[in-house]
Every structure is written in C-alpha cells, then in structure tokens.
Amino acid sequence: MELKTAGEWSLSSGVWELDMDRPGLELKRTALGYPVSSRLSREVLGALMQASALPRDGSLHFPPEFRFSPLSGEQLRGARPADKDEAWVAPHGAAPHTGQSGRVLAGLRQSARPLALARARRHDPEAEPDAALPLPPPGDYEFFSASFGSLDAVLLALDPRKGTLFGWVAGVDEWVELENGKPLLLSETALPRGAWRAELAHGFHSRLYLPTERGLACVTPDIAALVYEVDYAGDGPAVGAPVGFDGRVWAPCREAGKLVFIGVDPAGGAALRLALPAGIEPGEISAPVSQGRVAFWPCAGGQLRLHKQVSGEVLAAFLPWPAGIAPQFQFGSPYLALDGALWQICFDNASQQYTYLKLGTDGVEQAPASSPRLCSGSYTYRFSTRFTDEPWNDPEQGDDSTPSEVIVPLVESPATKSAIGLRIESHEALETLLASNEKLRAELVVDDASATTGFHTIAVAQPWRLRLFRHGGRLWAYHPLLKSIAGWDLA
C-alpha cells in the first residue's frame, strides 16, 4: 500500500492531521468545518470519535474510517461499535425520528428503550445510587443522549426556558456550555414544562427539533468543537411542541395572528405550511401525540389536528370541545386504550364529574368516570394501584389501593411491561396534591406485573418534576432542587 506521512485527511468524521508529538493522527476540524475545542484532550477526542489505534499502543489514534496505519501500514484495532439504538430523546425517551411514515405512535410518556434496573429486587429505597453526576448550572433541564458530531453517545442538557445547551463529555467531567457556531443563537421557549417535548433525527450529526419563541428550531450540536448551529422554520413563536408525523416534524406556530402548522423535512426538503383560519384561540396547548394518519395537540379549547387523507393530502383543523368540557392536563398523558384509541381526561362542568373524551375524531364520544386517574399512556393509577383497562370502569371487586399512598407514573417501559414512578404518602385529594408546593418525601419505584420495588428516596417540593433519562447503560434521575443527578445500572 502507498504510505502517506504528511498533509491532512478529509474524512466523514472530520479533518485529521499528523500528530506532531507522536506517530498518530489527530482530529483538527470537525465535519462541519469548526476547529476542535482546545478543552478536549487527545484521549477525549479519541473516545468521542471511536478512533482506531495500533494494537501495541492504544494511545496512538487514527480516524475511525482507517483499518491500516497510513504511516506504517500496520493493521489497526477498531474501537467498539457505537450503539445506534442508545439515543434518548427528551422528555420521555421517544424513538428518534427517522424521516419515514412508519412510526405508529409518538408523544406519550413511553420510552422506546427498555428501562430494567440491574439487581432491581435487591435495591433498597434508602440505599445510595450506583453513580452520580454533578448538576449543570442552575436551571431546569431536559436531557438527550445521542451522537452529536461523534460516534460515541454524548449527554446534552438543555434548559428550554433559557435557550442554553451544555454537554457532559467523559474525560472532561464537567458540564461545558456549547456556543453558537453561526450568528443565530438558540431561542428560549414560553411553553410550560408539561407541554414541552422535542424530536431528534439520529445520525453522526444528530439534530434536535425544539419549540422556541423564534419558531421551530433545528439544532445541530457539534460536540468536538463545543458549538451548535441553529436554523428556524416559521415566522413566529412555536405555540406547541413538535411531533413526528407523516415523515416530517410538525409544530404549530403563530404568525401575524394566525395559527400555522410548520412541517420540516429532516432530509432537507422545503418546509410545508398549513394555515388555520383567523380567529382561532385554542388556549393552553398541551403536548402533542401522533398516531398513524392523525396528529393532534389537545388544547384548553379543543384539539388542533393534522389528518392525512386517503389522497395523501394532510389537512389542518381545530375541533372545539363540547360546551362545558375542560381538559385536565395535570393528570398526565392521554390514555391509550386496548383498541388503540386515545382518550383525554376532562371535567364536565354541567354534570360536575370527570369524563374521558376520545381524541382525533370528528364526532364526540365520551365516557364518564367516578374519579380521575394519573396516566402515562397505557397505564393508569388509582392511588397506588396500576390498571391497564379503561379508567372509566371502576374495579368490580374494588381494589387494594391504599388511599394514603399515590403513585405518580413518570415513564413507561413497554419493552419490560413496567413503569417507573414516585410513591408518595398523602391524604390529600389528587388535585390538591399535584397543586402543592410543599416539600414531600417520595420513593422512586419500579412497578411491574409482579411487584412494586422501591430503589431510591428523595425529599423535595414537587417531586413529580423529576426527569428520568438513559445514558451510558444507566438510568439517571434529575430534579432541579436536588444536589446531584443519581444513576443506577441497567440490566
């Protein structure tokens, strides 16, 4: 083979040059053209890029595309392959957006990745976690784990209400703020926490799709340079969160007083715009859900809906609730029934009782309920007992729920048929508990078909603000009022 001992190598992983201190190559510029950050050591960059190495000296790095050294001709040892399925998309671990129409359901509090704790039965609620990370700078964060200009997964912390983005890079062991690489900065969002979600298109340069006051933000972090690039779709603030639907990422924006749906093509095609008639005031907009040929954003006044017709055309509409109906978003996700229908818990002011309304349809179908239940998608909770049947049907033989205990589900793990949530002692009505700002003791639990197992305990105000995420083979738990991010090994 022809050997090369000088110059640079322009590759898909970036631009590499001869290391002047040792017989290897080092990354100089990223694939997006940015200089590599001086804060990242040779060893850190080698891990991020899954660099190849000489068998006799693993500290001599070469681009991951190389199988032989261009300096000596020796065969190189490749790094372990990156796990492309490891991506975690805030807030609940939805599957990354593929740009195809095949994703059946998105938007519920369900993780696409299994969340089975190692040694779960041996965990103790008062035991220390398996690992801990320091908190990012003060804020309220959402977390992503994916390849961001790297082959290894990187952990990002986003504060949506401040428009700040931090990266945790193994080997640096501190949160490093990413700067804007182009003139545009990342805008903040005005969406409440419960209405916020994001989409992620996974690849070597994974891209985030975020709702902001500037529009639907398309953010490309470049971790080796500690920068990000951002572009915006839409000419006004995103008033609802994005969701993947029909091969695009859609979000409602407000432009010149009108509601306009913006549909971004992850493959780089032109964005689509679907405007609603003037005068529609949906009120508070909750987190969206997409299912098959329908996507909808439950609102205080009704549903914003996208519907793909048999012709292939996508139509936008606003469907108001029946008179006197008020949705109750504080109880969690819409309920996913066994037949695949989605239902939103509401309060009927006329009958003074809770009721469930079927979503995504032109007609009105509702089912009165004797009491509200907390919901993560497929599971609902009455006090501390999990149910998988319709929440408007009371148990025939009663149930063994303890009225003094409540389980607040945080995320479902369909792969393990379990949920992770918080067990809280309370004698308050559910509505009163969720409105409380008092400091509460809460036990993190794994609830599956056989048992409810506690594995950690916290004491903070509004413990249900806890965010769970998966990164590096661990489940992590973040709350802005705790002193660190706790982690547990996953099976």
**Token couple for 277:** 């008639």
How far apart, in whole angstroms, are the C-alpha atoms of residue 62 and residue 71? 10
Kindly provide the residue ranges of all beta strands, DSSP E only, lying in 223-313, ordered along the sequence.
Answer: 227-233, 243-245, 248-255, 258-264, 272-275, 289-291, 294-298, 302-308
At which residue do the structure tokens 């399925």 appear? 85
CB-based contacts of 33: which residues, under 8 Å, 6+ apart?
A: none
Sheet (strand 484-489) strand order: 131-134, 484-489, 474-478, 467-471
- On whether the CB atoms of residues 359 and 298 are closer than 8 A, the answer is yes
pLDDT of residue 120: 62
- Over range 264-278, report the average pLDDT: 91
Residues linked to residue 382 through DSSP beta bridges, in sequence order: 385
List, in sequence order, every beta strand (DSSP E) within 49-161.
52-54, 57-62, 105-106, 131-134, 142-146, 154-159
Dist. CA 304–CA 326, nearest whole Å: 15
The total number of residues written for the chain in this structure: 491
419 strand-pairing partners = 412, 447
Phi, psi of 280 (to 5 degrees): -80, 125
199 is written with which tokens?
């989409």
Q: What is the pLDDT of residues 39-71, one digit of tens each?
A: 999 889 999 998 888 887 767 788 998 988 887
Mean pLDDT of 382-389: 89
- Tokens representing 156 are 């990002």
* Model pLDDT for residues 89-116, shown as the tens digit of each residue: 999 999 998 876 656 799 999 999 999 9
Phi and psi angles of residue 120, each rounded to the nearest 5 degrees, phi first: -60, -40
Question: At 252, phi and psi to the nearest 5?
Answer: -85, 130
Query: What's residue 377's pLDDT?
Result: 95
- For the stretch 124-134, pLDDT in tens is 888 889 999 99
- Rg over CA atoms, the chain: 24
Determine contact, residues 334/343, Cβ cutoff 8 Å.
yes
Helix or strand or coil: residue 316? strand
In terms of Cα–Cα distance, which of 164, 219, 157 is closest to 188?
164
| pLDDT at position 119 | 74
Residue 165 structure tokens: 């983005």
Q: Name the residue among 194, 140, 137, 138 with its Cα closest to residue 168.
A: 137
Contacts of 443 (CB under 8 A, 6+ apart): 125, 422, 423, 424, 454, 456, 457
Q: Residue 126's pLDDT is what?
A: 86
- What rounded mean pLDDT belongs to the chain? 91
Query: Which of 14-28, 260-274, 283-297 is least confident?
Result: 14-28
Using the structure block, give the residue that is written with the tokens 């977390």: 143
Provide the 8-state DSSP code for 432. Answer: H
> Phi first, then psi: what are they for 193, rounded to 5°?
-60, -40
Q: Reply yes or no: is the peptide bond before residue 63 cis, omega within 30 of 0.
A: no
Residue 211's H or E segment, with its range, is: strand 207-212
Partners of residue 154 on adjacent β-strands: 146
Q: How confident is the model at residue 263 (pLDDT cuts 50, 70, 90)?
A: very high
Q: Band of the pLDDT at 1, cuts 50, 70, 90?
A: very low
pLDDT digits (tens, 9 = 90+) for 280-327: 999 999 999 999 999 999 999 999 999 999 999 999 999 999 999 999
Instruction: Give the residue among 270, 271, 289 at the shortest CA–CA distance from 333.
Output: 289
pLDDT class of 477 with cuts at 50, 70, 90: very high
Instruction: Using the predicted structure, report yes or no on whether residue 485 has a pLDDT greater than 50.
Output: yes
Q: How confident is the model at residue 303, as a pLDDT?
A: 96
